[in-house]
Amino acid sequence: MQEYWELYMKQIDGNIASVLVNAGITVELPSEDKFTMGFIKVTMKAPNDKGLVSEEEEAQLSFIEDKIEMESLRYRIGSYVGKIVSDGLMTFIYYLKHDFDWPDMVQAAMKEFPDYSYEYGSKMDSEWEIYHKLLFPTPIEWQIIQNHKVCDNLKANGDSLHLPRAIEHKAYFETVEKRDAFVERIGSESFKVKDLMEANENTPMVGISFYRQDKPFYYDIDTLTLHLIDLAYQCEGQYDGWETSVVKI
């Protein structure tokens, strides 16, 4: 199983949640075999005021996570695919080859932590709905993840993120007509077209690169890209991200 972990924030049942997901397994999801989802829900002892992990408890919870994973490998029971932290609970999610050893594995892992209360269970999930609908980022959440990675990289290179500069974006459409409709919309918002890409053997869709002077600060770029995702969707297209140069004070 490939491992490519992403950590991001979202709302679950009205509460802020920190979600860790192995996004690398999407290329290996089962098509025919039946799989069981197993979970372990640990009640945190000292969550912060948002119901998330506090500095005080971070090391111990990390130790619990490592112990659970060590026991799962010893039992060869399945694969760890993600973790949800929300409302004072830390929930570990596995997909199991079988579930008859699941209670033994959980109890073997948690017996070293008698001060922690927990519950566990399992259920059939042949379509991996928990993974797709709860753990894996939506297109909007995924865009925010990518936004923040670019922002972090700019900041690491000395950029304050608060100075406006040309930010270039790309989008793709099924037809020239749909692209033209998008060009008209962004033109009314002071975006300039840099290049028009035509369909070819490698890319069956037509594309556009366009730019405007904006700030790449986290909140600002999130607001802007979500707006462009919506505009592209209205024209039956797909927004494809952004790039810019480092600007130092």
Q: What tokens appear for 11 in the block?
A: 């709302």
**Sequence spans of domains, the chain:** 5-135, 139-243
Q: What does the pLDDT look like over 1-10, one tens digit per residue?
A: 578 899 999 9
Confidence band for 28, pLDDT divided at 50, 70 and 90: low
| Contact call for residues 103 and 121 (beta carbons, < 8 A) | no
Could you check whether 5-135 and 139-243 share the same CATH topology?
yes
CATH topology of domain 5-135: Alpha-Beta Plaits (3.30.70)
Residue 32: partners with Cβ closer than 8 Å, 6 or more residues away:
none
Q: What does the pLDDT look like over 30-74, one tens digit per residue?
A: 544 558 999 999 999 999 999 999 999 999 999 999 999 999 999
What is the model's pTM? 0.82
pLDDT of residue 30: 52
Strand partners, 172: 207, 238
The CATH homologous superfamily for domain 139-243 is: RraB-like (3.30.70.970)
pLDDT of residue 198: 93
Q: What does the pLDDT look like over 114-157, one tens digit per residue?
A: 999 999 999 999 889 999 999 999 999 999 999 999 999 999 99
| Contact call for residues 176 and 196 (beta carbons, < 8 A) | no
pLDDT of residue 33: 55
